[in-house]
Amino acid sequence: MKTYEYNKSHALFERAAQVIPGGIYGHLGVAGGRRYIPASAYPLFAERAEGAYFWDVDGNRFLDYMAAYGPNVLGYNDREVNEAAIKQAAIADCTTLPSSLIVDLAELMVDTVASADWAFFAKNGGDVTTLAVMSARAATGRKKIIFLEGYYHGVAPWAHTDTGPGILEEEVSNNILIPWDDLDALEAVIREHKEDIAGLIATPYYHTVFDSNQLPAKDYWQKVRKLCTDNGIVLIFDDIRCGFRLDMAGSDHYFGIKADLICFCKAIANGWNLSALCGTDALKSAVQSVFYTGSYWMSAVPFAAAIATINKLKRINGVQLMNDIGTRLTSGLSEVAKSHGFNMEASGAPSLFYLHITDDKSMMLQQDWAAECVKRGVFFSHYHNMFTNCAIGDEEIKLSLEVADEAFKAVKVKHPQFI
């Protein structure tokens, strides 16, 4: 199986480095640790995308299990979503007054998300997690926020638990970090800071980078919900990554509780730039008391795309489809790994799975295997959870397993000590 080359991609990066800090930022940038290792195995710039695939500037095609880090939920360039967006763009997008579509979408979110009595829209996940924390503080008059180990809630200063470049000590001094799935630790910090805790913000389950994902213990969220209710703490679900991949009604609903505030982004509009904060009537006045806005937050085109995305996900039962795809894929990958003498564990929800080759604690096997897959046209990650989407079918799963097989052959040659 021929491996890819990236001559145009790497030449373009040389140009980018002259005019963009780091050349590329985020996960590919210096501050993000340049996560794609070795760099020679990975493309750096995409040119087009369709369905489950994207093509880089060298013309190489990739079956993409990163799904743009989550937004590709129906398939890139989904016809129904794009038609809705283009139809609205021909009328108006960003205007002085919000489009009436903002009301239509808010009503749809309220009808869809079990814990939602209202919806507020922005652009990025960090926009709405920030508003959620500000609203919790506005509602309670308290300062401290509880975080769970392995968290990621955006890049704003408050979303860190330690200082770093550009982050001041006073911006993180009211953040409390406790272990994931540890009720004793939660009870302890509540006792210690009983009158000072405004909110607890958490993802629905543990899905940090460079580590196997972990679903919560039975009744964990029910007990957290009770502790928050009994102590006047606002419970915030960060559903940016899991939203509409576990449950169309929200991941809090999936785990059998009702959050006070719930944040959505990635899958909400199939790649059109939009995020949403939803919540209960008890928090509505606190949210509206916070002055919070942005230049493009009420543009109409992403609203049209989101309405089309949500309605299509409901119609095709997208959540079930993506979980079925993930189950078939990960069980197949495990069998391929076993045929080569390796152990591959899939953790987390099947619709957003994490792969871990357990034979090597250093993760070098995992890193090299993912790189070998990418070089052959299947974009797996060695450090991040991955995403299925509704455009993946039998052909894509077959290709994934064939490439995985070739990649394990290459890894065996490179690391014979693990066989």
And the tokens for 317? 């039962």
- pLDDT per residue as tens digits for the range 346-400: 999 999 999 999 998 888 999 999 999 999 999 999 999 999 999 999 999 999 9
For the packed helices 101-112 and 300-315, what is the interaxial angle rounded to 10 degrees? 30
- Looking at every residue in the chain, the average pLDDT score rounds to 95
Q: What's the rounded mean pLDDT across residues 248-260?
A: 98
Confidence class for position 418, pLDDT limits 50, 70, 90: confident
What's the CA gap between 66 and 349, in Å, rounded? 15
Give all strands (DSSP E) within 76-151, no chain letters: 118-122, 144-148
Confidence class for position 36, pLDDT limits 50, 70, 90: confident
Answer yes or no: is pLDDT of 116 > 60: yes
Answer yes or no: is pLDDT of 31 > 60: no
Neighbour-count burial of 266, counting CB atoms closer than 10 A to its CB (0-12 exposed, 13-18 middle, 19+ buried): buried
Beta-ladder partners of 275: 122
pLDDT over 70 percentage in the chain: 98
Question: DSSP secondary-structure letter at 43?
Answer: -
What's the CA gap between 354 and 385, in Å, rounded? 4
- pLDDT per residue as tens digits for the range 180-214: 999 999 999 999 998 999 999 999 999 999 999 99
What is the third-level CATH fold of 7-76+317-418?
Aspartate Aminotransferase, domain 1 (3.90.1150)
Give the angle subtended at the CA of 83 by the CAs of 103 and 63, to the nearest 5°.
110
Measured from the Cβ of residue 282, the count of other Cβ atoms closer than 10 Å reads 11
pLDDT for 32 equals: 56
What's the CA gap between 93 and 299, in Å, rounded? 5
CATH number of 79-315: 3.40.640.10
Answer yes or no: is pLDDT of 245 > 60: yes
Query: Among candidates 22, 21, 13, 69, which has minimal Cα distance to 43?
Result: 13
Is residue 415 within 8 Å of 341, Cβ to Cβ? no
Beta-ladder partners of 53: 50, 63
Sequence spans of domains, the chain:
7-76+317-418, 79-315
Confidence class for position 417, pLDDT limits 50, 70, 90: confident
